[in-house]
Structure 1
């Protein structure tokens, strides 16, 4: 499986030119990667096969790549990746089954324990550790979910969850959480100032609360952005809610349209004429905050199979192997080989042109990573 990355790359977290060096670990010349570029995996200074199965997790300044072949090796890219501390962490990670990363902590999940490394203190041993016991019959839980709870993005790292929720997956932003239960119900909690909880208001929730607007419609996938949330139904429909200032919901954004109009007006010059706005019946409706889940039509010809959110952008993969992106694009994170932001889903043509079938997508705050397979020629 091959992985591509595009968008914010100021710390070299989208590694494209071999093993990391001390010179490129803290800064790189190319801040914006507007064209999807294949990631080259290195672990312990050795090149790994780019086609092997692996997971990608990303935060603002770093990327963690977990190679699932053999002894499950971890690779780090981005800020400080070439330091002795990160090299030590990589060696200690052998055998881990899952990983999560933030700008302050790296969490490794092993068969019998969890370990957290403080990336700011750079201690020689894990800053936190917890023994875990799982039965062979238990379904595997993916980070941030762990037995009995989940791993938060900031201390205290371990937070408990009620067993009645029967959590299947969990998406975390810096300020809110979206949980998917085994029955397909969606629960949210945390800060709600931008409607990101989907309960119709802007108030916070301290405990998980079911999103009533989705009740009775089983969901299969959830994702959380900086101030927005999305989920996919069992039927492949995409629902969005929260902040839409940058078009990250795929709904008409007044702020985004105004910015584009100003840019076009500047490019056209002072001699251009501006058309008058139409009457009330022709006036377009813009959405800044969508406090209830709204159905978004990504493509009329196919369904959505997986989705991921950045800080202010969204990316979705369809059953046809196409990648659609929308929202804030000023670092090239939308993959359309421009720095333009858009408020409606648009297919990333790069992968179609290269005859690549997109199978997965993972968004960092300001960048995007996609897993692809070669299309079969029939």
Structure 2
């Protein structure tokens, strides 16, 4: 399995900066915006660590989690010089990891540790012992879920959860959370000012509250962006809600359409047309005609991807979304100013578009992980996917 990345690369999160023969970084290595899918690189020399691994991403950092043999984490991006070419020494033997702008949290078989990335300390900022075989908490879960609660992005790092929720997975943004229960029910809480909680209003919730609009439809996957949320049903349908100013919900965005028209008029020198009308679709006399644009979707909406397909997994950036289909295609939409949509442009889109690069390279997409302003994609060769 190989990983590709595209989007924001100001700190070398996508590929390691290479030195030129004169000892200086080349222009390509200093590229802040990467619009073409580029194979993710790290200074890992051991062949057994170059095989399958997982990616965790924050705004300025990328963590690659290697679980073969002596499991460990490699960091790339902002202030990661200590781990360049070598794993984070505190991570050896870890079973899982998550990364934020401030903390790297590691899960071991007997404990959990959070390390402050802004400080060079010899001891973790937070540690919790866990039972190796704990029957009281049910089956093992992945970070940020931990026994009895979850790991937050800022202190207090440990937050408790009611065992009655039977949490299966949890996705966190800076200001809200979405939880998937073992029964497939979806719960949200936190800031609700942009409809990101999916309860039909803009109010916030202090405690997990079930998303009633999805009740009775079991979900299999959840994800959250800056101020938007998405989930996938057992049948492969995609539901979206929250903020849509950059088209991150895949719904018509008035602000985005207007911005694109302004850019087009600047290039052509033509006067800018109102975003709500087109020259070939003018309202008749006495008839009012307006396109319907959505800035906030306060309850879950079923999103169609054309041609019709089933969604396998999904991930969200700050203002963009990426989904993998069961046939191995990648679709992206939303904010694209840093090339994070992978269409080899810096154009935003409020319509899902297939990333043709992987089709052209005969690569089958199996997973996607979004950082705030970039996207990482795991692929295998088509012949491997068909075997």
TM-score by length of 2: 0.90
2:227 equivalent in structure 1: 227
1:35–1:336 CA contact under 8 A, matched in 2: yes
User: Displacement of 1:282 after TM fit?
Assistant: 4.7
Question: 1:35 aligns to what?
Answer: 36
Paired with 1:59 and 1:172, the residues of 2 have a C-alpha distance of 12
Matching residue of 2:247: 247
Structure 1 distance, partners of 2:119, 2:16, is 28
Is 1:140 the counterpart of 2:129 in the alignment? no
Q: Give CA deviations for 1:218-262 in whole Å, capped at 9, x if unaligned.
A: 000000000000000000000000000000000000000000011
Distance 1:263 1:185 in 2: 42
Which deviates the most, 58-67 or 118-127? 118-127
Instruction: Show structure 1 runs of 5+ residues with no match.
Output: none
Identify the residue that residue 65 of structure 1 maps to in structure 2.
64
2:265 aligns to what SS in structure 1?
Answer: helix
Q: 1:87 and 1:129, CA in 2 relative to 1: closer, same or farther beyond 3 A?
A: farther
* Structure 2 residue aligned with 1:83: 82
Match of 2:103 among 98, 102, 105: 105
* Whole-Å separation in 1 of the counterparts to 2:49 and 2:261: 42
Question: What are the superposed Cα offsets for residues 192-239 of structure 1, whole Å, 9 maximum, x if unpaired?
Answer: 000000000101000000000000000000000000000000000000
In 2, Cα distance between the equivalents of 1:221 and 1:131? 29
Partner of 1:96: 94
Shift of 1:121: 1.8
Question: Cα distance, 1:270 vs. partner?
Answer: 3.8
Q: TM-score scaled to structure 1, two decimals?
A: 0.93
Greater CA drift, 318-327 or 266-275:
266-275
1:376 match: secondary structure: helix
Q: Residues of 2 paired with 1:301 and 1:277: CA distance?
A: 28
Correspondence for 2:4:
4
Q: CA deviation at 1:275?
A: 2.5
Q: How far is 1:15 from its partner?
A: 1.7
Q: Which runs of 5+ in 2 are unaligned?
A: none
Of 118, 121, 124, 1:123 maps to 121
3-state SS of paired residue (2:383) = coil
> 1:281, CA displacement in angstroms?
6.3
What's 2:150 paired with?
150
1:179 aligns with 2:176: no
The number of residue pairs the alignment matches comes to: 371
Paired residue for 2:73? 74
